[in-house]
Amino acid sequence: MSLLQQNPADATFGRGADEPYARAIRHEACGGLALREVGQVSAAAGPTLDLDFGKWADDADEVDRSLLRHARGPLLDIGCGPGRMVRAAGRLGLVALGLDVSPEVVELARRGGAAVALGTVFDRVPAEGLWGTALLVDGNVGIGGDVVALLARCREILASSGVLVVEAHRDDDRDHSYSATLVDADGAQSDVFPWAEVGVTRLTELARACGYTVERVFTASGRRFCRLAVA
Ligand SMILES: C[S@@+](CC[C@H](N)C(=O)[O-])C[C@H]1O[C@@H](n2cnc3c(N)ncnc32)[C@H](O)[C@@H]1O
């Protein structure tokens, strides 16, 4: 579907058309997934970003677990995918829930033992306003393509003492919102959806403007993170 036909409110990561995300979840695709930036009227060209679906579907690694070590529950993993962070949080004794808009990935996560709600972060979520920690990792700060709107929405979801842990782009100066499609190695392509990439420089500016305190900016195995407290 072209951008001209699309209702942006209905467009989410990797869905529609050839359903490459669902194909990856069902192991129907050989090879990886990539995010491709598209132009205004055609989904044909543009730079791509390789995504590590294998990692998402795996167990949490040391860096993932380090994000949870000082987390206060209950914890909400926004855009949780197959649920590795939710399972890892549960092992640490935290009450944790995943949230994802993809029915296929929610089913996969539940089969793997993670508690996951199906829905978009932009609609009302379970226990709205009561979450001690929320996560936006694996590029999920890009959800919706509007970082300010997402940060503001997370503030509504969190408790007044809540903390948002955000994975930023590896390039601190990155600040890019764009129209994307998800493609797989077989050429299957999703509908176009809005996405964003943001490094810590812009992310911390936007977070302060949205009423967060920046508690910590840190690096773990080359990945960049910010810990934002509801001010
Ligand atoms: C870049 S992937 C991140 C993968 C994930 N963290 C994992 O471990 O598999 C983005 C995830 O966010 C989900 N997502 C996209 N838009 C969303 C929305 N508006 N609300 C909730 N989840 C969303 C997608 O379905 C996908 O699973």
Residue nearest to atom 20 of ligand 1 (CA): 120
Instruction: Return the CA Rg of the chain.
Output: 17
Terminal C-alpha separation, the chain: 41
Which residue has its alpha carbon closest to ligand 1 atom 11? 79
Instruction: Kindly report the length of the chain.
Output: 231
**Residue 79 CA to ligand 1 centre (angstroms):** 3
Contacts of 48 (CB under 8 A, 6+ apart): 34, 35, 36, 37, 183
* pTM of the predicted structure, to 2 decimals: 0.92
Burial 77-93 (b: 16+ CB within 10 A, else e): bbbbbbbbbbbbbbeee
Which has more confidence, 39 or 52? 52
Can you list the domains of the chain with their CATH numbers? 20-230 (3.40.50.150)
For the stretch 3-27, pLDDT in tens is 334 445 568 888 888 889 998 888 8
Q: Which phi-psi region, left, alpha or beta, contains residue 88 (left: φ > 0; alpha: ψ -120 to 50)?
A: alpha
How many CB atoms are closer than 10 A to CB 220? 14
- What pLDDT, in 10s, does the model give residues 83-109? 999 999 999 999 999 999 999 999 999
pLDDT (tens digit per residue) in 160-206: 999 999 999 999 999 999 999 999 988 899 999 999 999 999 999 99
Ligand 1 mutation target, pool 10, 35, 100, 147, most atoms within 8 A of CB: 100
Q: What does the pLDDT look like over 111-168, one tens digit per residue? A: 999 999 999 999 999 999 999 999 999 999 999 999 999 999 999 999 999 999 999 9
Cα 78 to averaged position of ligand 1 atoms, centre (Å): 7
How many Å lie between the centroid of ligand 1 and the Cα of residue 98? 10
